Amino acid sequence: MNSPEVEVSDEEIWNSYQKYVGRKAIFIVSSILILILAAGVAGSMGQAKITIWEAYAAFLVKFFPGLFTTSWLAETTVWNLRLPRIALGIVTGIGLGIAGCIMQGILKNPLASPYTLGISAGATFGASLAIIGGAGLVGGEYLIIGNAFIFSLMVSFIIIGFAARRGATPETMVLVGIAILYIFSAGTTLLQYFGEEQAVVQSVFWAVGSLDRASWSKVLISASVIALSIPLLIMKSWDLNLLASGDDSARSLGVNVNRIRIYTMTIISLMVSSIVCFTGTIGFIGLVAPHITRLVIGTDYRYLIPASGIVGAILVVGSDIISRNLIPPIIIPVGVITAFMGGPLFLYLIMKRRMGYF
Amino acid sequence: MEFGYSSRPILKKISMELRPSEMLGVIGPNGSGKSTLIQCIDGLLKPKNGSILLDGTDIKGISRREMAKKVGYVPQTSSRSFFPSTVLDTVLMGRRPHLGWRSTGTDVKKAIKVLRLMGIEDLAMNDINQLSGGQQQKVLIARALAQEPSVLLLDEPTSNLDIKHQLEVVEIIREMVMERDISAIMAVHDLNLASKYTDRIIMMKEGNIVDQGTPSEVLTPENIRSVYGVVAEVINNNGGKPHIIPVKSLRRHKNSELNSGSSVTPQKRSATVIS
């Protein structure tokens, strides 16, 4: 392999490196285009007949009233009914994709994701507690959301608490997460076992991830948390890059390894909790999106973080399109679709291409 | 300086110095504290008592990032990157203590220069996990050199390398020390490599320094016998450097004809990767 006869000039290396970096930028740009297309398709679907172009026009007319014309029907349908759902899908995908990508990095485990570490299980338990334990009486929906938020955050902080102990390794954090997943799942099952039938059904429906509960106010909350988190995470890209080469190497290169784990985990936790408290469990996005992205553009977190988010958004919006068209007019919960699509897709990726770390 | 994990002392009363532009070898049997010593010097482990001074400043008062600008560390543990990463990106990580969020063109050019120096420029765009052990080791040394440190710490840089790569790697380090005016501390198992390429040697046993000095002062049959439990002949060859020929181990066994207890056998390690 290392043949001294092959002369490579600095320029050639420079050029191929630029090409390699350029490919990452191209990937991000084309992903954004695909996402816009997917959002358009999603906007054109539903009871009212609206074409993709009408959907785009109805969207843009709010920003450029002079440039686009649209019907009243299209504008209200798109803005009030369809866009909140699409926007929540995009926000969810971005949040879960980024969370999975960073968790896999800091825990050095390709199976790490908000789901496998029990964060979703915490949210489900919190929501079930509110639903079965009497949220129907007061507070209603907000109590469910609040409870889901608090319990999912609690899971993260237990994991972070273990991480802050002396001598904690990434493996510790993964194992703690899995242990918590089991505890909270058992807790939810126990609640459902003793709960009233109707409440149990409601809690099961809540747990299956879905975009049906979307509204502008919810989108606004999730979106602002994520908008604040992303720059804070991308800022730490270099530290995350260095972590991949081992804790000792990272530390000798100037990274405070433990601090970066706790810092990123805290931000991710807030991000994930602010999503799953509205959507419930949408599995596989946090797991699959980063892997797909890594296959194409490699491990540099400066590109990997935004790209994983966009790929996650494409997956959620795409799954939502499928979930509404499989057996219309029934809308299958998107969490079911992501798992059904994500599982085989993941198997395919493992078989088709050696990922280098499996 | 002393160091220990909870109650078990690993290093006892270590006192040593590294001179400018010096290549210092650290030798000793497995578990004698070589790696621990090196990690203490880089500040990765904190000594229980005593202090480590870098240019007269206690390293306790130096931030990790400042430390990374001054000290380059080549770890012994598997160089496998967890997720695939190109060689050039890996070497670029060495520039990290010097950069902000963006890597500039200058940093990329510097990284390419170091790759050329190590003679692995043709591998620049390869995945580090697909390289051979020797090539990976060179990439890690390249990364440490890209830090532009004044002190280079190497923890058994030649373990699991074939003889050609062993010599290449140590020769490159030697050249760096001479040409770039940096100092290096190298933990090494191969006594003859240590003898041939280092200016001074520290010999360790059970967390103590038993002897230090020039290779010919330290590498005596008596020292090797008491530290390693190996009977060895020491002859002088090329330029007065001692050459060690292991004869037999002092292991008390009945089949004394099995006396191939060679001190040059590289330490065997297994890399575990959780996935």
Q: pLDDT tier at B256 (50, 70, 90 boundaries)?
A: very low
Confidence check: pLDDT of B174 > 70: yes
In sign, the C-alpha dihedral spanning B112, B113, B116, B118 is negative
Indicate the SS3 state at residue A151: helix
pLDDT of residue A9: 80
What's the complex ipTM?
Answer: 0.76
Q: Say whether residue A246 is in contact with chain B using an 8 A CB cutoff.
A: yes
The domains located in chain B, with CATH, are: 3-219 (3.40.50.300)
Beta bridge partners of B127: B86
What is the pLDDT, as a whole number, of residue A71?
81
Which among B65, B122, B274 is the nearest to A8, CB-wise? Answer: B122
CB-based contact A1 B99, cutoff 8 Å = no
CB B39 within 8 A of CB B45: yes
Closest alpha carbon to A30 in A302, A296, A294: A296
Contact B68 A254 (CB under 8 A): yes
What pTM was computed for the model?
Answer: 0.84
For A39, A40, A138, B158, the CA distances from A73, given in Å and listed in that order, are 18, 16, 36, 73
Q: Do B275 and A241 touch (CB under 8 A)?
A: no
Minimum distance, in Å, between the CA of residue A222 and any CA atom of chain B: 27
A1/B135 touch (CB, cutoff 8 Å), yes or no: yes
A317: distance to nearest CA of chain B, Å? 28
Structure-derived torsion over alpha carbons of residues B263, B266, B267, B269, reported in degrees to the nearest 10: -160
pLDDT tens-digit series, residues A276-299: 888 888 888 998 899 889 888 888
Gap between the terminal Cα atoms of chain B: 38
Say whether A326 sits in a helix, a strand or coil.
coil
For β-strands B241-249 and B23-27, DSSP reports them as: unpaired
B-proximal residues of A, 40-99, CB under 8 Å: none
Chain A residues within an 8 Å CB radius of B116: 10
Q: What is the pLDDT of residues A74-102, one digit of tens each?
A: 888 888 888 999 999 999 999 999 999 99
A·B CB contacts under 8 A: 141
Q: Do A244 and B85 touch (CB under 8 A)?
A: yes
User: CA of B236 to nearest chain A CA: how many angstroms apart?
Assistant: 34
DSSP state at residue B127: B
Domain chopping of chain A, boundaries: 26-352
| Annotation: CATH topology of A26-352 | ABC transporter involved in vitamin B12 uptake, BtuC (1.10.3470)
Each residue's pLDDT, cut to its tens digit, for chain A (358 residues) gives 444 455 678 888 888 888 888 899 999 999 999 999 999 999 888 777 888 888 888 888 888 877 777 788 888 888 888 899 999 999 999 999 999 999 998 888 888 888 888 888 998 898 888 888 875 445 677 888 888 888 988 998 898 888 877 777 888 888 899 999 999 999 999 988 988 888 888 888 888 888 888 889 889 999 999 999 999 999 998 889 888 888 888 888 888 888 898 899 889 989 998 898 888 888 889 988 998 898 888 888 999 999 999 999 999 999 999 988 888 778 888 888 888 887 887 787 777 655 555 4
